Chains A and B, each alone.
Chain A
Amino acid sequence: MTWTGVADVVAAACILLGALLALIAAIGVVRMPDLLSRMHAATKPQVLGTVLVMAGVGLRLRDLSVVGVLVLIVLLQMATSIVASHMVGRASFRAGQVRHDLLVIDELSSEPAQDEPRGAP
């Protein structure tokens, strides 16, 4: 097999694995009991999934001009998923939408009242 054939097989494996991770993320959103657990399922396996799909696309196209866009997609996906999951998690915690029965330890709620106003940086 030539190297292009090998690259095609690797690319197919990467894309399939990435798609599988995205599927697991979707199943997780349906199955998880509360919002914060859903955030884990929805945002995280899918980051690795995106990286794998992009690697697969890059290996299949084998075109230098596409690599820049692919790297950009991965970096922006990482940057935005961090901020999005943090903001949604924080908002739900502050709104009291937390299933305390699912928490083994909660070191944030047991913290003494803070002087900082809520929303302080």
Chain B
Amino acid sequence: MSPVLHTRRDGTTRPARHRAVQPPAVAGLTLVWLALWGDVTPLLLVGGVLVAVMVCLVFPLPPLHLSFRVRPLALVALVGRFIVDVVRASVEVSSVVLRRRQVSNAVVAVDLESSSDLMMTLVASMLSLVPGSVVVEARRSTHTLFLHVIDVRDEEAVERFRQEALALEQRLLRAFPARATGQEEAS
């Protein structure tokens, strides 16, 4: 995504700065600042907010529209399943490394159901963090992810992986359901 552009009077453009300072970004950056100092004092808090505002002004990004709700229970299920997946897949990849055997891989296309860029990014990041799959190509127009999967022997295993990836997307959609369209227009 490119930053929102502001056209100067002479026709040249520059990134728009007037709406660059977004409260969620400032809050997040302030938290990072406090974590780096490892302490919470009023002076650090004020300094953190100042630094966060400076960073937002110097590196303006387009506003992020978070048009979804959060379901806590589904979120817990998502994170729990994710941790289990990461541990299991880490063991699997480690065993593949330690066995002296030729590995066979596959490049699998996964057509995502959701059409939102944010969901696609989240699915891609979570799939990347689970060992055994790397996103080699992402096609935004058709919402297709191409994943390189390690230790796949036959078509059946490819199909199983595809189903797992789609199940992950379903869990994500359950945890972050989209808001009704009426609210989306209002925000």
- In A59-108, which residues have CB < 8 Å from any B CB? 64-66, 68-69, 71-72, 78, 81-82, 85-86, 89-90, 93, 102-108
- In B118-146, which residues have CB < 8 Å from any A CB? 124-125, 128-137, 139-141, 146
A40-B136 in contact given A65-B38, A86-B128 (Cβ < 8 Å): no
- In A5-50, which residues have CB < 8 Å from any B CB? 21, 24-25, 27-28, 31-33, 36-37, 39-41, 43-45, 47-48
Q: Which residues of A contact B134 (CB under 8 A)?
A: 36, 39-40, 43, 85-86, 89
- For the residues of B in contact with A, the DSSP-based class is mixed
> Is B116 an interface residue, CB under 8 A from the partner?
no
B141 touches A72 (CB 8 A): no
> Is B90 an interface residue, CB under 8 A from the partner?
yes
B107 touches A105 (CB 8 A): yes
Complex-state Cα separation, A27 to B97, whole angstroms: 7
> Is B152 an interface residue, CB under 8 A from the partner?
yes
> Is B155 an interface residue, CB under 8 A from the partner?
yes
Minimal beta-carbon separation of A103 from chain B (angstroms) = 6
Complex-state Cα separation, A107 to B131, whole angstroms: 20
Q: Which residues of B contact A90 (CB under 8 A)?
A: 135-137
Chain A, interface residues (CB within 8 Å), range: 35 or more
A36 touches B131 (CB 8 A): no
Q: Which residues of B contact A24 (CB under 8 A)?
A: 94, 97-98
Complex-state Cα separation, A106 to B128, whole angstroms: 18
Complex-state Cα separation, A25 to B90, whole angstroms: 10
Q: Which residues of B contact A37 (CB under 8 A)?
A: 103, 105, 150
- What are 22 pairs between A and B in contact, CB < 8 Å? A24-B97, A27-B97, A28-B93, A28-B97, A31-B100, A36-B134, A40-B131, A65-B39, A68-B36, A69-B38, A82-B124, A82-B128, A86-B136, A93-B137, A102-B103, A105-B155, A106-B106, A106-B107, A108-B137, A108-B146, A109-B107, A111-B109
Instruction: Point out residues on A near B: beta carbons under 8 Å.
Output: 21, 24-25, 27-28, 31-33, 36-37, 39-41, 43-45, 47-48, 64-66, 68-69, 71-72, 78, 81-82, 85-86, 89-90, 93, 102-109, 111, 114, 116, 120-121
Instruction: Point out residues on B near A: beta carbons under 8 Å.
Output: 1, 32, 34-36, 38-39, 86-87, 89-90, 93-94, 97-98, 100, 102-109, 124-125, 128-137, 139-141, 146, 148, 150, 152-155, 158
